[in-house]
Amino acid sequence: MTSTSLVSPAEPVESTGAPARLRWALADGWTLTRRALAHWARRPEQVVMGLLFPVMLVLMFGYLFGGQMAVPGGGSYREFLMPGMFAMTMVFGVETTFAAVATDASRSITDRFRSLPMASSAVVAGRGAADMLHSVLALTVMAVTGLAVGWRWHEGAGRALAAAGLLLLLRFALLWLGVYLGLVARSPELLVAVQVLVWPIGFLSNAFVDPATMPGWLGAIAEWNPLSATIGATRELFGTPGWDGGSWAAEHAVPMAVLWPLLLAAVFFPLSVRRYRRLSR
């Protein structure tokens, strides 16, 4: 240890005015996004495993189960499956968000962040931006996988991009669910619970099979599952095989795929903010 005195590298700056505050909020958020990116750089194997897991599912469902599956209205099961797997990939993202938020909340590093003169939104904003980046990457990997197993978009690039937009909108809504659950749990040990719960949510939708084949009441739940709305809408926009709908929810998949995520975000965003504030009581 040397004996040089510690001199402050800068005078405390008071950021006043809305423009300055917004600028710092963005800068702070970016600093924390970079923190998440640095985590990936230090643990690339985790990122790669996370990206390859849904690819494995595509191969499993597409080639092992696929032979048995009858697509409603006819067509390739793998083409039917891909929109479901895109949406499932977005749902798996909840695990990433949950694990990161719960880990931070269980450690004193959250206290340090909260004792710094940074924007209080930055912790969540930085996390959110990193997770969205991750999901874009995951979606790209899945699209390449889809192309390799015979999935195509049949309605033009514009509608395909709109479908991607709906998927990311779903991911954005689930971001707040993940943040909320992470702040409630405050311990990454509950990650297993989240990982398990993802499955019934995924299967209780139109991701893998036509809800019409399920017992009546279960089929109804599956029809109204927010996941089904996004999947139905993306099937429509990609022009991949689906079914003739029949239910009101299936007929209006595209507006529902916009409304459901907005509703989820409208519920879980304020809940998350309240939870975060409650840390100071």
Partner 1 sequence: MTDHAVLAQGVRKRYGGGTTALDGLDLAVAPGTVHGLLGPNGAGKTTCVRILATLLTLDGGRAEVAGFDVLREPARVRRRIGLVGQHAAVDEVLSGRQNLEMFGRLHHLPTRAARRRADELLERFGLRDAGRRPAGEYSGGMRRRLDLAAGMIMAPAVLFLDEPTTGLDPRGRSEVWETVRALAEDGTTVLLTTQYLEEADRLAGRISVVDRGRVIAEGTPDELKSGLGADRVDVVLRDPAALPAAADLLSGATGARVETDPDTRRLSAPVTDRVAALIEVVRALDGAGIDAEDIALRRPTLDEVFLHLTADRAEEAA
For the CB of residue 39, give the shortest distance to partner 1 in the complex, in Å: 5
| Nearest approach, Cβ of residue 123 and partner 1 (Å) | 10
Q: Which residues are near partner 1 by CB under 8 A?
A: 1-10, 12-15, 24, 27-28, 31-32, 34-35, 38-39, 42-43, 107-109, 111-118, 122, 279-281
Contacts of 86 (CB under 8 A, 6+ apart): 139, 142, 143, 146, 167, 231, 234
Nearer to partner 1, 5 or 68 (CB): 5
- Which is nearer to partner 1, 12 or 74 (by Cβ)? 12
Residue number, 17 or 215, with CB nearest to partner 1: 17
CB of 104 to partner 1, least distance (A): 9
Secondary structure (3-state) at 203: helix
In the complex, what is the shortest distance from the CB of residue 16 to partner 1, in angstroms, rounded to a whole number?
10
Q: What would the two tokens of residue 39 be?
A: 């985590």
Query: Of the two residues 72 and 128, which places its CB atom closer to partner 1 in the complex?
Result: 128
Nearest Cα to 88, choosing from 179, 7, 9, 206?
Answer: 206
- At residue 208's C-alpha, the angle toward residues 203 and 214, to 5°, is 65
- Which is closer to partner 1, CB of 14 or CB of 189? 14
CA distances, 163 to each of 110, 136, 159, 262 (Å): 36, 13, 6, 16
Q: How many angstroms separate the Cα of 3 from the Cα of each of 6, 9, 102?
A: 9, 17, 39
Q: How far is the CB of 67 from partner 1 (least distance, A)?
A: 43
